[in-house]
């Protein structure tokens, strides 16, 4: 496994600035929320210093609390902005799934000439199939993949979702929440064995359509960690 890329302090500050700009352009409530998050701890500190016998040491504490509150707001709102921007974009579900911790993804395990696709993800929650494209065509593709998996996965559950905004479909806005709420029913050792068996029999995957998410909507590099399921 490749070691995580080390990010310098300067790069981290640049990433935060990019995330701030990305979110501010797409979320009208973001700036007011950040201002409120910064001011609230400072007002509390000013009140404590002004009306109680508390040393000036509390001022740095208030400043740190303000910065922490601002980062929490940024983390929450950038995630929402990315999710909203991803709605309706081909490949968005795969891109968002790819940043979730604990999941091993395989793109396009089923694909047709219309570029409808079924992606596969594996974790301790079992196997998840995420389908993107025409719902009518995807149902048969999901059934075909489930049949293929039934001979391999054993007792591991197989969940399937069609990505979309219609009734009975899974919105990309709810993708992370849905995936992280799935119960963990198999062990890490069983996950590793399942991945190994699937890799051994999987045919070469068809290529993903180029440019699934336009560059102007991608989250800034380095923000993936903040967006991962905790």
For residue range 158-209, list pLDDT tens digits in order.
Answer: 999 999 988 889 998 888 889 999 999 999 999 999 999 888 876 544 444 4
The per-residue pLDDT for range 209-226, each reduced to its tens digit, is 444 444 444 444 544 544
pLDDT for residue 29: 93
Give mean pLDDT, residues 69-93.
84
Q: What mean pLDDT is reported for the chain?
A: 83
User: In degrees to the nearest 10, what's the CA dihedral of 18, 20, 24, 28?
Assistant: 160
Contact criterion met (CB below 8 Å) for 134 and 163: no
Comparing C-alpha atoms, which of 131, 220, 219, 111 is closest to residue 175?
Answer: 131
Structure confidence by residue, pLDDT tens digits, 131-153: 999 999 999 999 999 999 988 99
30-56 pLDDT, tens per residue? 999 999 999 999 999 888 888 887 777
The pLDDT of 115-136, averaged and rounded, is 94
Taking the model in full, what pTM does it have? 0.64
Work out the percent of the chain whose per-residue pLDDT is above 90.
44
pLDDT value, residue 1: 37
pLDDT at 30: 94
Identify the pLDDT of residue 80. 82
> What does each C-alpha distance from 170 to 159, 160, 181, 192 come to in angstroms?
12, 10, 14, 27
DSSP 98-158: TTSTT-EEEEEEEE-TT--EEEEEEETTEEEEEEES-HHHHHHHHHHHHHHHHTTSTT--E
Q: Is 194 helix (H, G, I), strand (E, B) or coil?
A: helix
Average pLDDT value for residue range 7-28? 87
């Amino acid at each position: 496994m490749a070691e995580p890329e080390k990010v310098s302090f300067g790069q981290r500050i640049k990433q935060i600035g990019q995330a701030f700009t990305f979110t501010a352009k797409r979320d009208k409530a973001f700036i007011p929320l950040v201002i409120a998050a910064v001011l609230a701890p400072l007002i509390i500190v000013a009140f404590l210093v002004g009306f109680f016998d508390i040393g000036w040491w509390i001022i740095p504490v208030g400043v740190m609390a303000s910065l922490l509150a601002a980062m929490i707001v940024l983390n929450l709102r950038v995630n929402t902005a990315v999710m909203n921007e991803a709605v309706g974009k081909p490949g968005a579900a795969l891109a968002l799934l790819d940043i979730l911790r604990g999941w091993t993804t395989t793109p396009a395990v089923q694909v047709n000439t219309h570029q409808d696709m079924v992606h596969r993800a594996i974790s301790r929650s079992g196997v998840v199939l995420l389908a993107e494209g025409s719902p009518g065509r995807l149902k048969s593709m999901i059934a075909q993949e489930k049949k293929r998996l039934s001979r391999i996965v054993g007792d591991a559950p197989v969940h399937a979702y069609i990505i979309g905004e219609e009734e009975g479909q899974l919105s990309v806005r709810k993708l992370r929440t849905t995936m992280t709420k799935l119960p963990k029913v198999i062990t890490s050792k069983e996950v590793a064995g399942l991945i190994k068996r699937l890799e051994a029999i999987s045919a070469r995957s068809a290529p993903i359509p180029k440019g699934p998410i336009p560059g102007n909507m991608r989250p800034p590099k380095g923000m993936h960690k903040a967006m991962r399921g905790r």
